[in-house]
Amino acid sequence: MQRKVIQQGPSTLMVSLPSVWVKKNNITKGRVVEVTIQDNALVVSSGAASVKKKTMITIASSEQYMRRLIISKYREGYEEIVIQYKDHKVLDLIRETLQYLLGFEIVNQTDSSCTISNVAEGLKDNYDQMFHRQFQIVLTLGEMMKEYFKTDDMQVLHKMVDFRHTLSKVQEYCLRLLTREDFFTEQHKQRAFFSVWNIGVIGKMWIYLARHLLSLKKNQLGQKERVYEEKALQYVRLLYDLHFNYKNELLVEIKNKRVSLIEEGQSLLHHSKEPVTCHYLLSIVEKVHDVSTAF
């Protein structure tokens, strides 16, 4: 939707409000509205208290239960979800799913339904803070893997696996924040969603690698694999710097390092005694480059 800018007086510029929005929000002469600057966007909101978003879903049995049914509603920004069921085993599955939903708990329960709701309404974390937290978790996982490669301490791998729920919770909360009305421009939302999702994938790659290494009877990692892990971690750090301290030189560096890192990873993949480890490290390198294309 486009509006023509009108000059009112020597220094005041004005635009008219869309009539559909005016009627929907009952805007009248003298009404105060909220005006927010977001990058190159100017967001006008009615300032009225938002209506609590509620929804209901039905899950007939535990066999039909899918975690995504609840997580998708969480991402869409619903504050209250009523879940109807006949199979009591569904309730245990719901409790397990809540591990991934920051701020949500069961607030009401009957023989055939339960209500999960946002009990953290006072939580004022904004998207930038939560996204920063997600990325720091991913970097922590990479540092822990680096520590394991140096010490062969299996406890480090167990700690990495334990990070899975924390990483998933923060990622899902970031995705939920992105659905808030007037939070970002649509283009910014799409780019942010792409970053959150794929940086989460990088974190999960570290965790999958930790699980794989825990399953081995014998550690066959050599010096080349250890060096490559450190290079992969440095590559992730470049992406972190690109997000939070953008410089065009960083983008160029990510692009220039990609070819040599992929060639080195593919060579290791074919010659290493631990090709699965090399596969995960190579996948992390490729995912870093994928995320950088959003800039």
Placement of tokens 């649509």 in the chain: 186
Residues whose CB falls within 8 Å of the CB of residue 47, separated by 6 or more in sequence, listed in order: 32, 33, 34
To which residue do tokens 């039909």 refer? Answer: 64
> Span 127-292: which CATH code?
1.20.58.220
Q: How many CB atoms lie within 10 A of CB 257?
A: 17
In this model, does residue 122 exceed pLDDT 50? no
Q: Which helix (H) or strand (E) holds 12?
A: strand 12-14
* Fold match between domain 54-118 and domain 127-292: no
User: At a CB cut-off of 8 Å and minimum separation 6, what does 51 contact?
Assistant: none
Q: How far is CA 185 from CA 4, 105, 156, 199, 240, in A?
A: 20, 30, 41, 21, 23
pLDDT value of residue 30: 77
pLDDT in tens, 24-50: 778 887 787 877 665 567 777 776 555
CATH number of 54-118, picked from 3.30.110, 3.30.1490, 1.20.120, 3.30.70: 3.30.110
Q: What is the pTM of this model?
A: 0.74
- For residue range 48-104, list pLDDT tens digits in order: 555 678 999 999 889 989 999 999 999 988 889 999 998 889 989 999 999 889 889
What ranges do the domains of the chain cover?
A: 6-45, 54-118, 127-292
